[in-house]
Amino acid sequence: MSSGETQALLSVRNLTVEFTTRYGPVRAVDGISFDVNPNETVGIVGESGCGKTVTGLSLLGLVPSPPGRIVAGEILLQGRDLVSLPEDEMQALRGQEISMIFQEPMTALNPVLTVGSQMVDVLRRHKKLTRRQARASAIEMLAKVGIPAPAKRIDEYPHEMSGGMRQRVMIAMALSCGPKLLIADEPTTALDVTTQAQVLEQIVELQDEFHMAVILVTHDLGVVAETCQRAIVMYCGEIIETAGIESLFDSPRHPYTRGLLDSIPRLREEKRDELPVIPGMVPDLLHLPPGCRFADRCEHATDTCREQRPALKTSQQSAASVACFHPLD
Amino acid sequence: MSQSLLQVLDLEKYFPVRGGLFSRVQSYVRAVDGVSFELKRGRTLGLVGESGCGKSTLGRAVLRLIEPTGGDVRLNGESIMGLSHDALKAKRREMQIIYQDPYASLSPRRLVGETIQEPLDVHRIGTREERRAKVEALLDVVGLRKQVLSRYPHEFSGGQRQRIGIARALALDPSFIVADEPVSALDVSVQSQVLNVIAHLQRERGISFLFISHDLAVIQHVSDDVGVMYLGQLVEFASSSDLYGNPKHPYTHALMSAIPVPDVHHKSKRIVLPGDVPSPMNPPSGCPFHPRCPKAMSQCKDVVPPRKNAGTEEKPHFVRCHL
Amino acid sequence: MSAALSDHRESIWGKAFYKFRHDRMGMLGLAVVLLYFIAALGVWLGVWGTGWADVDGPKWAPMSGEYWFGTNIIGEDIFQRSIYSTKTAFEIGLVVAVLSTILGALLGALAGFFSGRWIDAIVLWLMGVLDSIPFYLFVAAVAFALQGNPWAMHVAMVSTFWTTTGRLVRGEVIKLRNFEFVEAARAIGVPQFTIVFRHIIPNTFHILLVQATIVFVAAIKSEVILSFLGLGVQDGVSWGLMISESTLEVLAGFFNNFIAASALLFVLVMAFNMFSDSLQDALDPKKVAAS
């Protein structure tokens, strides 16, 4: 989905990640392809088990390697394939060109080191600054992410800070080397609603200022609606729909997306009616049906749906795509 | 006319903070700081607030799973505070609880059937066949198959475990269930399934719920009345339609505007509150919300706002604010 | 609204078993232990090893068709004695392991569940006292007190070995206590002691099993030293006794007794340790639980 002459920043083609389990190999991510343009915010949405987190991790080569590995596909960062990159080059890349922030800041930050020493570490590794320069840079970064009195806070330990602040420290660390792409894996799920609002706003502001692309991995459609320009919907390891944010919410084409949007309780609705429900459950990745993976929960399913896997088809006019034999209109 | 099922009067739960050489009590964490409300039979009260506001503590204190340090709780007009161990055990049949974490709320080494049947065993209700039949009937109510009984909790998904927890809570036919964030840990598509089970119980069995959540949209969906908590105090309390249509407390306003809405055309004037939710160990003086309140006045810092009724006698709309 | 169930059933033990089966070292260890166990069983049933006390052989006979390991200084068949010792070893190991695990589980669970109250304080104090007494002195004291009763050694071991299990269980129970299923049981009205036995202790089985295997080995090893000191096995024979007897023989250049006993002991301990390690890995709740 590159627009005109701008080449996509990130191009994922047919990525497949397999995990070995006692019952056999399981494909957490099964042949997905998508692009991310520079300065764009893309949301990868789906429920637990759909493969969105594994997708995020595989972009940075962080898929835990004894059980999991990338068995097929390419991840092209400005033309460079990350899948075949040796580990030392990958390490140089992490933090510098692509950064990641995680859901739980308490476990992502080392509890026995001060915030400052962790940030200085990252800066010195990638930018070869002296300790003093790195410290100054870190303080500046903390101020940018909206932490008050950064010169004082830089010497604090993670547990002395609130959840929202820790998350901001993590963002500061991730952005300190000016990466081109930020992957945020459920960055606000563990935060309070009011803090969530702050942190999301911060991410949007920083994205602008740093001219970076952001991939926001989340299950929260509300967060996607507020921050993303495009969204990719995943189900059972596959991409089933991608679209610009407005058309995704106004007229979703895949029945799963539609079902998901309908089943979310919202404010200012008729109270106490039965919430529409997507019947059944997500299929077991070990016993996947031969056809469309959503077929047994879909009220529009036909025999074709049950027998053949629909491919992701891009529409000509809108750069949106959907993997369905009978997309909704 | 619905009669009062549960009355909570000035309930307090203070946790002592010990420190120093001899573990002396230095100060108190005021988890629940003088909360009063009434729950009528057949109605559901939604309790909303963020982390540290005390809503979970309140839910447990009402059932005396955590012992309150002050105030009174009355079930059907009778106080449960001074009850002996056995009397309280008998009262427990009327009030039950379902939990947020579907993974921690069921014992991993007990069969599902045993877990659901346990309340009946403990209170010695019916014969063994009757208990078995009751358990199977409960599975029907929550939409699970009989095969579930001979399996272990870890074999099920979060949504299914949550339903098992609901079945267990229903075993004693309580008139009142405290639901502590029952859907927060579930996926969206499963959330709606479990919410429908709860709605069904409200309608068909007339069970009252004290529904605790941080999600305003979910609360609106299930509640008749709503209470908003902040730092241990109930800052606003009204019927659902009144609260959502006409919120009076600045915190309620901010909370409502902060929720990300899955609607692209929703142009909210988002009120972003400065700072973080303060820790209940160091609550601010006066109105607990004043440091973050966009409308704070000088008296907010000094005087705890009293509870005022902005509504009518039959349909009260309580607010704790100086505005 | 009915929910689908997955078709393949999986229990915690099943998963553990699968992991264990693929651990070669562990399987090897288990195989060796079973071999020894069969030997012990045979002795216990009187199938073999019966001639352990017969003194009709020549002194220090070399290994031969009649005396597979040769004979010792007073003409006893070393092989018979070695085989008989497997029974002794398993007896001590099993009795001490089972009893100390039960004791450790009970006291540890009570201490953990009522942590902060007097039960906990007493149990912790008891653990502290027992752990600070030098083990062999304690055994000697118990042996004297029980006037040479053959169970003196078992009593002494059980009374000191339970403390490690107790501490581990206590720690786990303190953690489990905060889980919601415990509160849920209270909400239903389950009395506290029932909660401890029916809800909490079953969730510590993975710890108990591993600890039991560790204690088994510790018991066998301790017996060797106790027998050396003369405080061990009084009636019957064990590898410890054999080793102790062989000290004189070794000085005279006759090694069979010593080698037989030490080798058999070493192999069993080694095998059991391997088994125990992979059991611990297989049962690790972080790897086994809800995945």
**Helix pair angle (C256-283, C12-21), 10° resolution:** 130
Q: Does B1 touch chain A (CB under 8 A)?
A: no
| C residues 9..28 contacting A (CB < 8 A) | 15, 18
Contact A222 B260 (CB under 8 A): yes
Contacts (Cβ under 8 Å, ≥6 apart) of A68 = A17, A18, A19, A20, A28, A54
Cα–Cα distance for residue pair A221/A135, rounded to 1 Å? 38
φ, ψ for residue A79 (rounded to 5)? 90, -15
Chain C residue with minimal CA distance to B200?
C1
Cα–Cα distance for residue pair A225/A30, rounded to 1 Å? 26
Pick A284's closest partner by Cβ from C1, C6, C15. C6
User: Hey, which of A186-195, A240-249, B249-258 has the most confident mean pLDDT?
Assistant: A240-249
How close B188 comes to chain A (CA, Å)? 7
Cβ burial, residue A72 (10 Å; 0-12/13-18/19+): middle
Contacts (Cβ under 8 Å, ≥6 apart) of B270 = A197, A201, B257, B258
Q: What digits encode the pLDDT tens for the residues A102-146?
A: 888 777 788 888 988 888 888 888 888 888 889 999 999 898 888
Contact predicate A105/A83, CB 8 Å: no
User: Hey, which of A168-182, A311-325, C143-157 has the most confident mean pLDDT?
Assistant: A168-182
| C-alpha C21: how far from chain center | 22
Subunits next to A (3 or more Cβ pairs <8 Å) are B, C
Contacts of B155 in chain C (CB under 8 A): 5-6, 9-10
Pick A280's closest partner by Cβ from C4, C6, C8. C4
Q: Residue B314: what pLDDT? A: 74
Note the pTM of the prediction, 2 decimals. 0.81
Contact predicate B177/B169, CB 8 Å: yes
The candidate with the shortest Cα–Cα distance to A201, out of C231, B272, C207, C28, is B272
Q: Does C132 touch chain A (CB under 8 A)?
A: no
The DSSP code for A297 is G
Q: Does B246 touch chain A (CB under 8 A)?
A: no
Cα–Cα distance for residue pair A251/A241, rounded to 1 Å? 12
Contacts of C14 in chain A (CB under 8 A): none
Contact predicate B222/B198, CB 8 Å: yes
Decide if pLDDT at A88 tops 80. Answer: yes
Q: Residue C148: what pLDDT? A: 67
Contact predicate C186/C177, CB 8 Å: no
Q: Residue C102: what pLDDT? A: 96
Per-residue tokens: B16: 């002592």
Pick C188's closest partner by Cβ from B92, B99, B159. B92
Size of interface A-B (CB pairs under 8 A): 129
Subunits next to B (3 or more Cβ pairs <8 Å) are A, C
Contacts of C198 in chain B (CB under 8 A): 110
Contacts of C179 in chain B (CB under 8 A): 104-105
Contacts of A280 in chain C (CB under 8 A): 3-4
pLDDT band for position C152 (50/70/90)? confident
Contacts of B194 in chain A (CB under 8 A): none
The total of other beta-carbon atoms located within 10 Å of residue C74's CB is 10
Q: Starting at the earlier edge strand, list the strands of the sheet with B95-98.
A: B95-98, B176-180, B208-213, B44-48, B225-230, B233-239, B318-319, B308-309
Q: What digits encode the pLDDT tens for the residues B235-287?
A: 999 998 888 888 888 889 888 888 888 777 776 667 777 777 777 777 788 88
What does pLDDT average to over chain B?
86
Q: Given the structure tokens 């993670």, which residue do they identify?
A: A158
| B residues 169..208 contacting C (CB < 8 A) | 171-172, 193, 196-197
| C-alpha A147: how far from chain center | 24
Over residues C265-273, the mean pLDDT reads 92
Q: Does B151 touch chain C (CB under 8 A)?
A: yes
Contact A280 C1 (CB under 8 A): no
Q: Residue A271: what pLDDT? A: 58
Contact A267 B191 (CB under 8 A): no
pLDDT band for position A234 (50/70/90)? very high
Cα–Cα distance for residue pair A256/A277, rounded to 1 Å? 11
Cα–Cα distance for residue pair A322/C245, rounded to 1 Å? 83
Contact B50 A194 (CB under 8 A): yes
The candidate with the shortest Cα–Cα distance to A300, out of A286, A279, A274, is A279
Contact B259 A222 (CB under 8 A): yes
Cα–Cα distance for residue pair A176/A144, rounded to 1 Å? 10
Q: Residue A194: what pLDDT? A: 82
How close A76 comes to chain B (CA, Å)? 31
The DSSP code for A161 is S
Q: Residue B268: what pLDDT? A: 63
Per-residue tokens: B237: 């309390």
H helix intervals, chain A: 52-59, 87-93, 105-108, 115-127, 131-144, 150-153, 163-175, 193-210, 221-227, 245-250, 255-263, 303-307
How close B152 comes to chain C (CA, Å)? 7
Cβ burial, residue C24 (10 Å; 0-12/13-18/19+): exposed
Amino acid at A184: A
Decide if pLDDT at C227 tops 80. Answer: yes
Q: Does A264 touch chain B (CB under 8 A)?
A: yes
Over residues A284-298, the mean pLDDT reads 88
Contacts of A279 in chain C (CB under 8 A): 1
Q: What digits encode the pLDDT tens for the residues A145-167?
A: 888 888 888 998 888 888 888 88
Contact C3 B106 (CB under 8 A): no
The total of other beta-carbon atoms located within 10 Å of residue A254's CB is 27
Cα–Cα distance for residue pair B103/B116, rounded to 1 Å? 15
Over residues A247-263, the mean pLDDT reads 91
